[in-house]
Structure 1
Amino acid sequence: MTEITLHLTSGKGPDECCWVVAQLAQAFIREGLRQGVNCDILDAQEELPASLLLSITGEQAEAFASERIGTIQWVGDSPFRPGHRRRNWFVGVTLAPSPETVPDLRDEDIVFQTMRASGPGGQHVNKTDSAVRATHRPTGLVVTAQEQRSQHANRKLAKLKLALMLEERRLQAGDHARQAHWSAHQSLERGNPVRTYTGPLFKLRPSR
């Protein structure tokens, strides 16, 4: 079975874009159910997540993901600022890097520590010592994962989070071409969305 992980990000957008990230994940889950694709939010979904990771599994996972990679536009009134004139909000969807393809991420450089899950986290969080803290010793980067049911799954998620952070650092520190890519990732390509949703129910606008 094919498994793909998408990274949904608000870039540097305001709270409205973070809200769109959360709503877009739910829209993808609904669309996946209709198309025989399973979509699961991997990391804790805050009320206003700047970004989140979405696992896509199923025989049609690759096609489903490819149709959604790029800039996503939502057209609607701000849920936080009544009367605000802006009605077009943009978020980005990219493929999350596979930990195995990130050259700076080696198993021997990661220190895993188990801990007890705590705080809000939905139905998946249990109160056993299944949560994981992962430290990347060469950079000092630290991530935690407690959203999955097992310690093994949380270790895998923590490693994925480290891969994402290291890849972002690499792009930031790379050559001009990589910096241009990073700038595009942060600012988002607002003129050419791959999908457009409208209204509070996130209805997909038919492509022209």
Structure 2
Amino acid sequence: MEENVNSSPYANTNNVPHSYFASLFAARNELLRDLDALKNLKADEKSSKDMSDMIAEEETRYLEEMKNVELELLRSFAPPGEDGNEVVVEITAGVGGKEAALFSKELFDMYCNYAQFKRWNNFVDQSDVSELGGIRHARIYVEGEGALRHLMQESGVHRVQRVPTTERSGRIHTSTVAVAVLPQTPLIEIEVAERDIIVETMRATGAGGQHVNKTDSAVRLTHVPSGMVVECQEDRSQIKNRQIALQKLKMRLNEKAQVEHDSKIRGSRKSQIGTSARSDKVRTYNFPQDRVTDHRLSQTIHNVEGFLLGEQLLDSIIDKLIDMSEEERLDAFIQSIKEFKS
């Protein structure tokens, strides 16, 4: 019975205490009983208008509570959304040359201010400043509760429309800045278990005199999980060669893990910023019309300067984006359940 539960999409993937589930189910059952009681009262033809209005009001309240309880149950069963407390925000000037670099600096300041607004720790990890004081590329390290969940909503291409200070004819230019938000997961040093290694000894080959060629001092280690093989015949001692071979194996496994980690980061960066083209955008900052439009929410705010302060206006948009991504996550979970049942 336990095996079926673990293989089901209904499995408790969030490690939520069973007592919490029990309390939610108990609350749901109580609400069902209350709704049934109201249903019986509604069926009573002797109910006065005041009583009917009160029943309708109570029913609305119970249904709203039921919706919240069932939503919380769904969240508890669904796989957790991506989150973390350590991230790097990468800001890269895209299309638009010097103007893109200038706006990149403004976004850089906005995110630094936002980190302070959220009371997160942050420092500039890297910055490439242009000749006009803009930023071609910058990395901001941010550490704080829920930093990834909030800042990942900012990933993508940000488009700015305004008259550059260097434009004499007054034409409006469109430039872009790419923002990527990368979780910081420190690589844990690879631990190699003895049971995962096949040890073979052999006679060393090559120059070295009679001793090297007549004793089984050379060592070959095969790491079964990865299939990686290392050999060592550097020393006359088999024990020493085994130690050296084990060090080589750990080093190569760490290098392999680093390559895979870097590849994942590059893939995440590429998927977030796309091509940095003007059409590949998540938000537009239009200075002449004093508006900021978030294209994912289809919402416009008329206060560009206030938004770029990186305080309440930005935070309110990010909160709405978090809610939207949460709905999408739960919708995907519901769809996976339907596919599992079919």
TM-score in terms of structure 2 length: 0.32
Q: Higher relative contact order by CA 8 Å / sep ≥ 6: 1 or 2?
A: 1
Give the structure with the larger helix fraction.
Answer: 2
TM-score in terms of structure 1 length: 0.50
